[in-house]
Amino acid sequence: MKALILSGGKGTRLRPLTYTGAKQLVPVANKPILWYGIEAIVEAGITDIGIIISPETGEEIKNKTGDGSQFGATITYIVQEKPAGLAHAVKIAQPFLGDSPFVMYLGDNLVEASLTNFLNAFQTQELDSLILLCPVSNPSAFGVAKVDEQGTVLGLVEKPKIPPSKLALVGIYFFNHNIHRALAQIEPSARGELEITDAIQWLIDHQKNVGSRQIEGWWLDTGKKDDLLEANRIILDTRLEIKVLGEVDENSEIIGRVKIGKGTKIINSTIRGPVIIGENCLLENCFIGPYSSIADEAILKEADLEHSVILRQAKVLQIQQRIVDSLIGERVELKVAPKRPKAMRFLIGDDSQIELT
């Protein structure tokens, strides 16, 4: 059994942040989104992993993620020259996949459920494909499945105006070798891409056994700022490990579930969890409210924030007003003069410098 993680694309929904980096490396609770998928796959017992990368961000992903040894896996990187569809990604990965069954995992997805039970169902029922589904309130925004009472998939529709159900396709799929036969038969869609839904529909039309399972718990697509902040909130709520390795002075107060990395100094500040703060940070005269993540080497002075994500080496200085619902990129320097509004929201790309006067 192998795995294929899709980590290419241009990340247009997270711009300007993704003009300078891969969207799959944006951190949730101070860990790249991509790594959650790798860990879930390894936890299910799959250690031979291919990762689809783009020419623009592939080197960054390689440098950050490495050869897979830190996860107990072996990683092979496969370059997709242009984003030509999910099915195209599988097609160019065929030399890596061979005839092995595999799980395909979209690298910007997060799910609460373990993959182990789904993998067992795929193998024991000898399915040609197993798709994961989740009921949603707005099915027209997704690929949607029509299934019978046994979970057998009867048909798929991509972003239908009149959805046949409320069951959206989660970005996790299991396939055997027959998917390659399907890929050889389908044509690009109207948007010029090879669609994985068309390949699965080919399997259905040719009487292959395509099953489905509904996931339990949350499923998050982190492609937009608010989605990423929600993912950060949920991970902090459900998985945060309480640990204080840095220095907290006697004038500071730590309340609730808080993790602070080594080398970090907290001076005359209040931290109200759930909050995670990375290594070698400096926080002075700050209030850090719930559902905030601050990455390594960040500096915050006279800052007041909550429900926000601050990336590596960012500086937030001399801000009296509260920052909320914000995503601030790497090495950003943000300064705000007094007499600003009571709350501010930001989406700031890497290496920016902003001063409001």
Residue spans of the domains in the chain: they are 2-235, 241-356
96 with 78: CB under 8 angstroms? yes
Q: What is the pLDDT of residue 345?
A: 62
Average pLDDT score over residue span 109-129? 94
Q: Give the tokens for residue 224.
A: 């937009």
CA distances from 15 to 2, 11, 197, 349 (A): 32, 7, 27, 7
Give the ranges where 218-354 is alpha helix by DSSP (H): 225-239
Residue 53 scores a pLDDT above 90: yes
Tokens 């009487």 found at? 207
The share of the chain scoring above pLDDT 90, in percent, equals 66
Residue 204 scores a pLDDT above 80: yes
Sequence-separated (6 or more) residues with CB below 8 Å from residue 98: none
Write the pLDDT tens digit of every residue in 129-140.
999 999 988 888
Residue 14 scores a pLDDT above 60: no
What distance in Å separates the CA atoms of residue 299 and residue 301, rounded to the nearest whole number?
A: 7
Tell which residue, 296, 327, 232, 229, has the closest CA to residue 28: 232
Q: What is the pLDDT of residue 216?
A: 87
Q: What is the pTM of this model?
A: 0.88
Residue 333 scores a pLDDT above 80: yes
Write the pLDDT tens digit of every residue in 134-177.
998 888 888 899 888 888 888 898 888 888 888 999 989 999 99
Q: What is the pLDDT of residue 71?
A: 97
Tell which residue, 156, 14, 6, has the closest CA to residue 84: 6
Write the pLDDT tens digit of every residue in 228-254.
899 999 999 999 999 999 999 999 999
Give the ranges where 195-322 is alpha helix by DSSP (H): 196-205, 225-239
Mean of pLDDT over the chain:
89
pLDDT band at 270 (very low <50, low <70, confident <90, very high): very high
More confident residue, 191 or 199: 199
Class of domain 2-235: alpha beta
Residue 10 scores a pLDDT above 80: no
β-pair type (309-310, 327-328) = parallel
Write the pLDDT tens digit of every residue in 272-328.
999 999 999 999 999 999 999 999 999 999 999 999 999 999 999 988 788 999 889
More confident residue, 331 or 3: 3
Q: What is the pLDDT of residue 277?
A: 98
Average pLDDT score over residue span 199-205? 95
Q: What is the pLDDT of residue 19?
A: 47
Q: What is the pLDDT of residue 249?
A: 97
CB atoms within 10 A of CB 141: 12
Overall fold of domain 241-356: UDP N-Acetylglucosamine Acyltransferase; domain 1 (2.160.10)
DSSP state of 256: S
Strand partners, 143: 158
Residue 12 scores a pLDDT above 60: no
pLDDT band at 348 (very low <50, low <70, confident <90, very high): low
